Structure 1
Amino acid sequence: MAAADVYRKTERGQAEIASRKLKLSPRLRTMLILIDGTQPELLVKEEGEKVGAPEDFLDQLVEMGLVEKAGRAAIPAAAGEAPIAPLANEFERFRAAKDLMNVTIVDALGLKSFFFTMKLERAGTIADLRALAEPYRQAIAKADGEAAADVLARHLNEMLR
């Protein structure tokens, strides 16, 4: 096992997700959303490559004060198989998954996401979100490509376990 830097959102990064004041590119915004303080830098960069983020996306986010180093983490030999840290309880998982789906679908589809977000608003349980997972993945794939959809779907599935 090797050690690698782990990045997390700063308060400014959290605020940017809600406010969209900086007008980040969709790929950069997606990476800001996905950085959760649990994955080593190598995995974050691999995901950035899959979604088509700029090569220096992590440097850009750090420069803007949206993410910061949170420490170091051990990387298993098969880095691509490292699990995402589980959230504490079912409500926390539900809220995080719903927020991820809402923010990323609006980023990908803009106004076209209206009907999906209405379904998402009616979702009240993790089971409801699981039922929306495949339509969500298909919509992201159509808008941003299969690679981006796969990355987001993997994160969503980890949250919905």
Structure 2
Amino acid sequence: MQDNAIPRKTASGQRELVERKQKLHARSRSLLIAVHGQHSVAELKRQFAALGDVGGILAELSNLGLIAVDGRAAANAPGAASPAPADAEMPPLQMARAFINETAVAALGLRAFLFTLKLERCYTKAELTELLPEYQRVLGKAKNEEFAHAMRQRVELILAQA
């Protein structure tokens, strides 16, 4: 996938966020949640560098038909579909919780358990916003501060839609 390409979730990708049929790894799921057709592959690689081979993860998602580049779904992927309309996404609050959970698990592994217990008690936008400083702290400790700050900004963008 070229660095200047802008990936977007397909209808299959939207369904996967809700149904979890593909049993994606937490890193892949985190990246799938973050793909909105607004950031280039290069930007995603930079922001998610702490997760590992971002290019490989994007290629995997594309091969599964969960994301498409430039409005084209992966041609030979099973269940591939055209890019999904914005209203097909899960609600922003649910998406923010999923993103926080998946990135914490991907970055911390089993050490994320106590943090995810706190996350499970957050039901409102205000409660999630209150948890963001701790989210940034644990990610910064596990990976690096740049990654933690980028992930917090992603969550804030998602919450702004709620």
TM-score bracket for this pair, using the shorter chain length: 0.5 to 0.7
Q: Contact 1:13–1:65 at 8 Å: present in 2 too? A: no
1:68-83 matched pairs, under 5 angstroms: 68-71=68-71
Q: Contact 1:51–1:147 at 8 Å: present in 2 too? A: no
Cα deviation for residue 125 of structure 1 reads 0.8
Cα deviation for residue 110 of structure 1 reads 2.4
Structure 1 residue aligned with 2:134? 135
Q: Using a 3 Å threshold, how does the CA distance of structure 1 residues 158 and 121 change in structure 2: closer, same or farther?
A: same
Cα deviation for residue 116 of structure 1 reads 1.6
Q: Contact 1:16–1:22 at 8 Å: present in 2 too? A: no
Structure 2 residue aligned with 1:37? 37
Q: Contact 1:51–1:151 at 8 Å: present in 2 too? A: no
User: How many residue pairs align between the two structures?
Assistant: 139
Structure 2 residue aligned with 1:15? 16
TM-score (norm 1): 0.65
Structure 2 residue aligned with 1:145? 144
Distance between the aligned counterparts of 1:103 and 1:55, measured in 2?
A: 15
Q: Deviations over 1:52-99 (max 9, x none)?
A: 643733345424544222539xxxxxxxxxxxxxx87xx922111111
Q: Deviations over 1:12-56 (max 9, x none)?
A: 6863893674657x4x554334222332344334324x4364373
Distance between the aligned counterparts of 2:25 and 2:99, measured in 1?
A: 18
Letter in 2 for 1:127: A
Find the residue that maps to 1:132 and give its secondary structure. helix
Distance between the aligned counterparts of 1:124 and 1:63, measured in 2?
A: 34
Residue 6 of structure 1 pairs with residue 9 of structure 2: no
Structure 2 residue aligned with 1:118? 117
TM-score (norm 2): 0.65
Moved more, 9-18 or 60-69: 9-18
Cα deviation for residue 127 of structure 1 reads 0.4
Please state which structure has a larger fraction of its residues in strand.
1
Find the residue that maps to 1:117 and give its secondary structure. helix
Letter in 2 for 1:125: T
Find the residue that maps to 2:126 and give its secondary structure. helix
Q: Contact 1:5–1:71 at 8 Å: present in 2 too? A: no
